[in-house]
């Protein structure tokens, strides 16, 4: 990449154009009105996706000395635009639909979710600008507004769990561990902001800001892995029923549980939780070994989750085909025996 600048620049332009086309393609379904916080949040998330991509292309054309330093203002602003403005806001918005559906919750109101979307949409650009052009006032305002948005998001989660009509299950483990990572991100980010506007040593920022970024990544990673264990079986369940598969191996009506190996799902959660704990501890404690363990554990969790979610429906189809073949063979043998008796 360092020797072929033109190739890097062409790749950056093509990637940005692809993002813009995707945003334009999504503009029509997201233009619906009266859909509440989820649609509004997704609109803003797509907007921040375009901003993040446009920001990223500057790296392809201007790769100055130390531009990839973890604490460089440009990289930090870019990271927060992507993690909070694009991915974070998208999850905050979509969660307002996913949580009540999969946790079977009927909340009295959804004001916390709406406030989370609005405040996060406002706070992210302020915080990013404060990182690009350091200003104590902008930094404090942006941090306070973003923290308020994340607080409303956590309040919405607490309301869903409080009003749930289903017992605690594995999804709760993923969601709550993900929320714990978000709390840690808020705390470490807050400490980093205080250190940057106060008269603290630079070592404080170098220790807590990377931990905040990693905690945000883990917040989203655990949430995605956890919800995938509900969303993928839901899609597969409908497809299998369309194929005529109505029962599981135990003879009961086909359920989501028939499409996921629970032991592998629990192993996935254990590895994801290990990744979160070791990664944050390793970053705060400047322990590279723990950070490596975190990366390996998170990669293993993702690989196991993919294998589990893909193999479940395939094994069900294989079992159904074997059952159908056995039934057909039994019917043929019965007819043959009947003809022989005659």
Query: Lowest-confidence range among 166-180, 195-209, 263-277?
Result: 195-209
pLDDT at 69 over 60: no
Q: How much of the chain, in percent, has pLDDT values that exceed 90?
A: 41
pLDDT at 2 over 80: no
Is the model more confident about 218 or about 5? 218
113-169: per-residue pLDDT in tens? 899 999 999 999 999 998 888 888 888 899 999 999 999 999 999 999 888 887 778
Q: Where are the alpha helices (DSSP H) in the chain?
A: 5-27, 37-61, 73-80, 89-102, 111-132, 136-162, 170-197, 202-242, 262-284, 288-341
Terminal CA-CA length for the chain:
80
What per-residue confidence (pLDDT) applies to 320? 81
How many residues appear in the chain?
Answer: 342
Rounded to two decimals, what is the model's pTM? 0.86
Reduce the DSSP state of residue 164 to 3 states and report it: strand
238-283: per-residue pLDDT in tens? 888 888 888 878 778 888 888 889 999 999 999 999 999 999 999 9
176 touches 226 (CB < 8 A): no
């Amino acid at each position: 990449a360092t020797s072929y600048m033109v190739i890097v620049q062409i790749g950056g332009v093509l990637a940005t154009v692809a993002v813009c086309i995707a945003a334009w393609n999504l503009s029509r379904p997201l233009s619906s009105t009266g859909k509440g916080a989820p649609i509004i949040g997704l609109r803003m998330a797509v907007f921040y996706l375009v901003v993040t991509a446009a920001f990223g292309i500057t790296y392809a054309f201007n790769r100055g000395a130390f531009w990839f330093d973890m604490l460089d203002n440009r990289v930090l602003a870019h990271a927060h635009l992507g993690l909070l403005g694009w991915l974070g806001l998208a999850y905050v918005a979509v969660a307002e639909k996913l949580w009540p559906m999969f946790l079977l919750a009927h909340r009295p109101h959804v004001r916390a979710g709406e406030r989370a979307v609005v405040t996060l949409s406002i706070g992210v650009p302020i915080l990013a600008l404060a990182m690009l052009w350091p200003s104590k006032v902008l930094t404090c305002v942006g941090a306070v507004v973003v923290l308020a948005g994340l607080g409303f998001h956590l309040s919405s989660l607490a309301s869903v769990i409080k009003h749930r009509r289903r017992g605690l299950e594995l999804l709760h483990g993923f969601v709550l561990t993900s929320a714990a990572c978000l709390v840690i991100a808020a705390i470490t980010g807050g400490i980093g902001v205080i250190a940057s506007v106060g008269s603290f040593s630079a070592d404080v920022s170098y220790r807590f800001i990377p931990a905040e970024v990693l905690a945000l990544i883990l917040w989203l990673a655990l949430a995605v892995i956890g919800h995938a264990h509900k969303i993928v079986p839901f899609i597969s369940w409908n497809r299998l029923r369309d194929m005529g598969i109505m029962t599981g191996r135990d003879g009961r009506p086909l359920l989501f549980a028939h499409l996921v190996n629970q032991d592998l799902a629990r192993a996935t959660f254990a590895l994801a939780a290990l990744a979160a704990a070791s990664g944050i501890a390793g970053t705060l404690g400047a322990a590279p070994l723990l950070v490596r363990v975190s990366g390996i554990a998170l990669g293993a969790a993702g690989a196991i989750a993919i294998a589990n979610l893909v193999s479940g429906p395939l094994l069900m189809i294989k079992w159904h085909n074997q059952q159908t073949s056995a039934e057909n063979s039994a019917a043929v043998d019965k007819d043959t025996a009947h003809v022989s008796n005659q």
